[in-house]
Amino acid sequence: MSNKEKKGLNTGVYAVVTSIVLAVVLVIMTVFSVATKYTAFSPEKLAQSYVDGVIQTGDGYNAYKVTLVSKNQKYGNFIINAYMSPYVNEEAKQAEFVGTGSEEEQKAIDEVYNTMYSYYSELIKTDGWDNYDAMFDKYFSKLKEVRHSVYGDDYMSTEYMFGALEANVQTYANSLTGTKRVFASDNKTILTEESIGAYQVMFGNMEKVEVEALVDGKKQTVTEEQPVYHLSTETTSCEELSADETKTYIEEFSARIKPYAEYGKAKAEERGLKDDAKEAMIEAYAKLDCAEDIDSVAKVTVEVKDQNSNVVALQELFVVKIGKSWYVDNTNINTSPLYISQGE
């Protein structure tokens, strides 16, 4: 079976920017929520949505919302129970400047986020989101260390950890797409300057576009030449495996996932977790084993093209059907072709 479907995100010149101050309350995890409702019943559309989500902003983090990781548990709960729980310490006294809105607090927030962004960028290169286990474990361990160094306290909450990680995810996206100038409500104070992203440098064509600028002390819309790019995805093939091939695939998936699903107990003991936290971690890993629920498997190929119809990335992936819904098999995928700014 084969099918071709096209989807694109016309980013124009710049993506919407979120300043580092507001990034604390950023919630990116809803990015795929609406799309998932309409793509879960189609292997072609699901695969395309997954690839499109990663290629547009390098967001391998949110991509897991349409994979088997989220089949039997909410993605956020999985992250909390499997990775955050060893570091949560809400009983610890926080630094005196926390919650004051002072310059000292803002400097501390910026220092933590900037330090962690440098680390996050390195993790993308060395481990990548295909190895989310290493990404989460290393990131939160480092965050605890950086928080203590900057704030001088040992406080950690799931909200704080999500805030830092999701801010870094958004900053990485901005580094690819670029950002536009953001004005304060007074229409004259510039909160964030525009920036040129890696994709604009790699693919952009100089075009005249309307942008907001400070003219004679006020915000005005002016026309400037800026690099404009457009990336689109296209499902070029989708072939369902035969009954025998599906049986073999499920056996191979089971062999990959079972050791990992059983890892929760050893990890919980290694981290010194007890009682509810220990059981939650064990269960979080155990729920990753969906081998007995898989009904069908499809192999899908998705192309990524620029505005000149040049193929800039080619992604092959397997999607599995459980009940009426399809999921990306994240245990059998290499998304490095989608991180084109890394030169991989």
Whether pLDDT at 85 is above 50: yes
- The C-alpha atoms of residue 215 and residue 298 are separated, in whole angstroms, by 55
pLDDT above 90: residue 139? yes
What is the per-residue burial (b if ≥16 Cβ within 10 Å, else e) of 79-118?
A: bbbbbbbbbbeeeeeebebbeeeeeebeebbeebbebbbe
- What are all long-range contacts of 290-294, with beta carbons under 8 Å and residues at least 24 apart? 290/68, 290/71, 290/72, 290/257, 290/320, 290/322, 290/327, 291/250, 291/253, 291/254, 291/257, 291/258, 293/71, 293/322, 293/323, 294/246, 294/249, 294/250, 294/253, 294/320, 294/321, 294/322
State CA 64 to chain mean position distance: 8
pLDDT computed for residue 22 by the predictor: 42
Cα–Cα distance measured from residue 149 to residue 131, given in angstroms and rounded to the nearest whole number: 27
Asked if the structure places residue 270 within a domain, the reply is no
Residue 33 scores a pLDDT above 80:
no
Question: How far is residue 292's CA from residue 76's CA, in Å, rounded to a whole number?
Answer: 24
Whole-number pLDDT of residue 110: 96
Q: Name which of 59-73, 108-122, 151-165, 201-215 the model is least confident about.
A: 201-215
Asked if residue 261 belongs to a domain, the reply is no
The parent domain of residue 109 ranges over: 5-238+288-342
Token pair of 20 as six digits: 């580092």
Give the range among 29-33, 191-195, 231-235 with minimum mean pLDDT.
Answer: 29-33
Question: Mean pLDDT, to the nearest integer, of 160-172?
Answer: 97
Residue pair 194/213 in contact (Cβ under 8 Å)? The answer is no
pTM for the structure as a whole: 0.86
Residue 56 lies in a domain: yes
**pLDDT reading at 14 higher than 50:** no
* Cα distances (Å, whole numbers) of residue 214 to 118, 152, 221, 225, 243: 31, 40, 9, 16, 64
What is the pLDDT at residue 342? 85
Given a cut of 50, is residue 20 above it in pLDDT? no
Q: How far apart are CA 72 and CA 340, in angstroms?
A: 32
Mean pLDDT, to the nearest integer, of 68-97?
97
Residue range 207-247, pLDDT digits in tens: 999 989 999 889 999 999 999 999 999 999 999 999 999 99
Q: pLDDT-derived band of residue 37, with 50, 70 and 90 as boundaries?
A: low
The number of domains in the chain is 1
Comparison of pLDDT for 5 and 110, the residue scoring more: 110
- Over residues 46-64, the pLDDT tens digits come to 999 999 999 999 999 999 9
Residue 214 lies in a domain: yes
Residue 251 maps to a domain? no
Q: CA-CA distance, 248 to 260, in Å (whole number)?
A: 19
pLDDT at position 38: 54
Is 198 a residue whose pLDDT tops 60? yes
**What mean pLDDT is reported for the chain?**
90
Query: Tell me, what's the pLDDT at 1?
Result: 46
Contact, 199 vs 176, CB < 8 A? yes
Tell me if 47 is assigned to some domain: yes
* pLDDT for position 177: 96
> pLDDT grade, residue 192 (50/70/90)?
confident
Residue 259 covered by a domain: no
Q: How far apart are CA 53 and CA 32, in angstroms?
A: 8
pLDDT in tens, 252-270: 999 999 999 999 999 999 9
Location of structure tokens 């960028």: 121
Q: Is 247 a domain residue?
A: no
Q: Over the stretch 112-137, which tens digit does the pLDDT of each residue have?
A: 999 999 999 999 999 999 999 999 99
The angle subtended at Cα 160 by Cα 158 and Cα 163, nearest 5°, is 105
Residue 21: what pLDDT? 37
